[in-house]
Structure formats: C-alpha cells, structure tokens
Amino acid sequence: MAILPFYKKVDIFTKQSEEAKKFSKELKTWLESKNIQSNIFENLSDLEKEENLKGTDLLVVVGGDGSLLITARRVAKFQIPIIGVNLGRLGFLTEINEDDAFEELETILSKPLCISKRMMLRVNLLREGNKILEADVLNDVVVNKAILARIVDVSVYVGDRYITTYNGDGIIVSTPNGSTAYALSAGGPIVYPMMEVFVLVPICPHTLTDRPIILPTLEPITIKMVSKEKDAWLTLDGQEGTQIFYGDEIVVKQSPYYAHIVRTPHKNYFDILREKLNWK
C-alpha cells in the first residue's frame, strides 16, 4: 500500500514513559523512511505553540486515553487531526494497538483521512460574577465532593430554567465522547460519539429518581454550588482540578472547537465497545 504523496508532516506527542519514548523514536524513523517529516513532542507546552504544528497533516499520540485527552484539549483550536497508539491501559480513545501500529498507519496514510469530529465543552467558572477559569474539554466537566465530605448540593439550570437541586456525590456534564468514561460508571447512557448533546449524570444521587438526562446544546447548563460544603471540586477531563466554593457558578456550553479524531478503517465504534467493554 503506497502512502499518498500529500502527507508531508506527521508529528508525534509522547507520554513521558521510557516505553512510549522508545516507540516514538521508532515511529519517527519509520515515517522519515517514507519521506514524511516528523517531530516528537514530549512537553505539553510544545502543543501550545502554533508554529510547531504548522503544516502538520496528522498528530500521532503515543500513550493512553489520558494523553489523547490532554492533546485534544490543546490542539482543537488548530484543527489538527489526531490518532492514538495505545501505550496506556484501556485505550478506548487510542484505538491503534502498538503491535499493529506501522501497518495501521500505512493504511491510514494511503487514503484521505477519515475524521470523526467530536464536540467539546466550553466551561466557565464564575465567582461573584468574575470569570475565574475558561477551558475546553473533550470528555467531561465534573463537580464533586472531596473524599471526606458527606454530600454536595448543586442546583442545575438549562438556560434560565431550573431543573432541580441534586444532593449526592456530585454531577457530571459529559460529551458523547466522554459518555463511556466517568458518566458510564455513574449509570449514564452510551451516546454515539458523533452526536452533539449534553449528557447530565448525577453521581450517587440521594434522590433515587434523579436519573441521567440528555439535553440539546442550544442553551448553556449552569451548575450552582448551593451547599456551604468547602470540600468540593471542579474537574476537567479527570485531569485538571480546581476547588470550588458556595455561590460559584459553572457554566457549560458547546465549545466552538471540535476534536478531529482520525478513525482506523478496520474498527467501527461497535467493535471498540465490544473489545473495550468486554461485550460478546
């Protein structure tokens, strides 16, 4: 299978483990042998510089799902297509296995890229009317209590319409992409990743009739901290955490950016669900 001549630059972002770095070097050598220019990025700050990714046709993430999430958050604004080679554990999002990596990449680069555009969330944390934080995430925005806290109360609104006040361990706002992560563990539905909806999932709600809700992205979701509990946290993609306080408001909208995840021709979404979730 011949690699198409218009692929000129395929960069690599590697997890900082010896195994991933070694694999990344082998991948760079292989790409260069095919006349494709390649840089290895090890530091997150490298992904923030647009000049590093100038002309990049594809960014290969060598690591686990966490590395892919980190990369997606940083490069979404540059609309760079990304694909993961799994050197982590589950590898739900990093769908190429290490053993098949060269063969799979050769197949992918012998055709125009098949890209699955995944919606992202834009989250704003407001404190006394001031914006404390703004970020774009691919999986989820989570408000939860810390380990020793008993319960957290959050009131949730769609636009300016009040839904309810959840009392429990917290609340997740997930994208369809993130629906198979924390939201699934908390009893949420699997949502086909190309859909554009918000998935609102309470975590261990005290009111047993509080069930997950799927909402359109037309209006923002606002989560207000109404308990005086001090041990509550806002977590983005399970990776960036900020302590939150009574009166704080978390506003979640659809981000203007999408993650451009490249699909392998050999697996569809249901193959991944069966393989990774141990279905028959």
Ligand X SMILES: NC(=O)c1ccc[n+]([C@@H]2O[C@H](COP(=O)([O-])OP(=O)(O)OC[C@H]3O[C@@H](n4cnc5c(N)ncnc54)[C@H](O)[C@@H]3O)[C@@H](O)[C@H]2O)c1
Ligand Y SMILES: Nc1ncnc2c1ncn2[C@@H]1O[C@H](COP(=O)(O)OP(=O)(O)OP(=O)(O)O)[C@@H](O)[C@H]1O
Interaction site with ligand X (CB under 6 A): 64-66, 69, 89-90, 92-93, 139-140, 177-178, 180-182, 185, 237-239
Q: How far is the CB of 180 from ligand X (least distance, A)?
A: 3
Q: Which residue is nearest to ligand Y (CB)?
A: 64
Q: 13-36: string of b/e by CB count within 10 Å (b at 16+)? A: bbbeeeebbebbeebbebbeeeeb
For the annotated binding site for NAD(+), the residues are 65-66, 139-140, 150, 169, 180-185, 239
Q: Which is nearer to ligand X, 61 or 108 (CB)?
A: 61
Asked if 196 interacts with ligand Y (CB under 6 A), we say no
Q: 202-221: string of b/e by CB count within 10 Å (b at 16+)? A: bbebeeeebebbbeebeebb
DSSP-assigned letters across all residues of 221-246: EEEEE-S--S-EEEEETTTEEEEE-T
Q: How far is the CB of 169 from ligand X (least distance, A)?
A: 10
Q: How far is the CB of 61 from ligand Y (least distance, A)?
A: 8
Asked about 65 being catalytic, the answer comes back as yes
CA distance 158 to 63: 36
Instruction: Give the position of tokens 């950016």.
Output: 257
Q: What's the farthest any 2 CA atoms get from each other in the chain? A: 62
The single residue of 11, 46, 57, 65 carrying the catalytic annotation is: 65
Residues that bind ligand Y (CB under 6 A): 15-16, 42, 44, 63-67, 70, 88-91, 239
Q: Which residues are catalytic?
A: 65
